[in-house]
Amino acid sequence: MLLLVGKSVVEQNSTKGGKGGQRRVPLDPETIELFTAHRKRQLEERLVMGSAWTETGYVFVQENGEPLETGTPTKLFRKILNRAGLRPTRLHDLRHLHATELLRLGEPLHVVSDRLGHKDPMVTATVYAHVSNEQGETASSTFANASKSAI
């Protein structure tokens, strides 16, 4: 489950592995703005629910404030894809996309590994090795061009 911590960090406290099952991930200002707007809507819902509301601190909850069932986000994601006419995609694939793009854009392996909650960056390197292979195709040209300009 996600908890908003501070102004620019979200904490996931039900992960596999990681640091005692907890991971804090810094977020960009635009995403934090979306989380903040969502939280304001939740506070309005809380007022409507009155004493039936349970404050958990989680970002995404049921109408009464209780945590979502673990399968709910996946089910909602499938519905959204279907309504939008998009091909079936697993919600978990967004995690893969996120990591792949960060690596492709040159984010250091240890940073991506920490974001994903991998204890060992080699796990990240193994799972996302295809990114390195793609980047390796351009490495020869990059080195050759650098060598030419050094002469």
Q: Say how far apart CA 94 and CA 97 lie, in whole Å.
A: 5
In DSSP terms, which residues pair with 3 in a beta bridge? 11, 58
Range in 51-55, 82-86, 134-138 with the lowest mean pLDDT? 134-138
| Span 119-133, average pLDDT | 86
Q: Which residue has the higher pLDDT, 88 or 132?
A: 88
Which band of pLDDT confidence, cut at 50, 70 and 90, is reported for residue 138?
A: confident
**Taking the mean position of all CA atoms in its chain, how far away is CA 117?**
10
Residue 13 has pLDDT above 60, yes or no: no
CA-CA distance, 17 to 67, in Å (whole number)? 21
Distant-in-sequence contacts of 17-26, Cβ < 8 A, 24+ apart: 17/117, 17/118, 17/119, 18/117, 18/118, 18/119, 19/117, 23/117, 25/115
- Please state, rounded to an integer, the average pLDDT across all residues of the chain: 83
